Structure 1
Amino acid sequence: MRVSKNSVVTLSFELSDSTGKLLEKSDQPISYLHGGYDGIFPTVEEALEGLAEGGTVAVTLDPDNAFGEYEDELVRAEPRDAFPMDGIEVGMQFQAGAEGSDEDLVFTVTEITAESVVIDGNHPLAGQTLLFKGTVEGIRPATAEELVHGHVHG
């Protein structure tokens, strides 16, 4: 079987930055529903199309095809008293609405002063060119239920 629309693809992968620094490596293979279901970066999905088990890809992802460009307007300083006095630390994350949007974003606390808390709604890899290397570990037809739901089960 080859990777094609409506197949469940299982792959191991490594994600590196443009300098070759390893950012993430799959401890266990991941599975996604192939064919435009948003389970993996579209550029990677295109590269996997037609591969058989054991096939490999190496895809360079520019920011627009990965986590987007870094947006300065997603960084903001909020009044310190809008946060709990105890327990907030740099690196903590929380979900909140973005200004002018109905969408919730994950914000990361990047700085804490006596007067303010600086939060950043950008993905940590926003603005970066990335290298995705993957190996197809398995391919199977998707079940009817997976196709209806648009994602892999089990």
Structure 2
Amino acid sequence: MQQVKTGDTVRVHYHGRLTNGTTFDSSEGRDPLQFKVGAGMVIKGFDNGVLDMTIGEKRTLNIPVEEAYGPKSEELIMDFPKANIPADLNPEVGMELQMSNPQGQVFPVKVAAVGGEFIKLDANHPLAGEPLIFDVELVEIV
């Protein structure tokens, strides 16, 4: 039976959850996720986790922080002056906003705290610092 190897394009169904059981993503009700193994299209632990799987096989992947989205970086948490926020925007903790860097690239940030003259923004990936668990089923090797 054919096994997944680096360079193969595969299609998988998956259910991703945190260690506390909270689901953060799933392919349920959608087409399977298709990606080329080893090409960096998915996180490293997911990429490595499907190696040697056979069609129809189900596997649970326990992915450590370092092979997921990495640890939270304090460098990506910043104080932003409230004076630079549009007057009609009332920032609240947990609110997701969009920012752009000097090169014009847009990236998401989350409001981590609201203080006197500043709000604290977190530009880390929402899953940074989290070990992840994926239940994966190999549907096809394309």
TM-score (norm 2): 0.80
- 1:96 equivalenced with 2:100 (yes/no): yes
Q: Distance in 1 between matches of 2:84 and 2:35?
A: 39
For residue 81 of structure 1, give the secondary structure of its aligned residue in structure 2: helix
Residues 74-153 of structure 1 mapped to structure 2, 5 A cutoff? 74-87=76-89, 89-90=91-92, 91-97=95-101, 105-113=107-115, 115-140=117-142
> Match of 1:145?
none
CA distance in 2, matches of 1:44, 1:78: 35
Contiguous gaps of at least 5 residues in structure 1:
141-154
Mapped partners of 1:4, 1:14: distance in 2: 22
Unaligned runs of 5+ in 2: none
Between 103-112 and 25-34, report the one with greater CA deviation: 103-112
CA drift of 1:134 comes to 0.6
Q: Matches of 1:107 and 1:19 in 2, distance apart?
A: 24
CA separation of 1:32 and 1:21: change in aligned 2, threshold 3 A: same
- Tell me the matched-pair count: 135
SS at match of 2:56: coil
CA distance in 2, matches of 1:132, 1:25: 9
What is the one-letter code of the residue matched to 1:63?
A: V
**Is residue 69 from structure 1 mapped to residue 67 from structure 2 by the alignment?**
no
Q: Per-residue deviation at 1:131? A: 0.9
Root mean square deviation of aligned Cα: 2.3
Which residue of 2 is the match for residue 8 of structure 1? 9
- CA change 1:88–1:96 in 2 (3 A) is farther
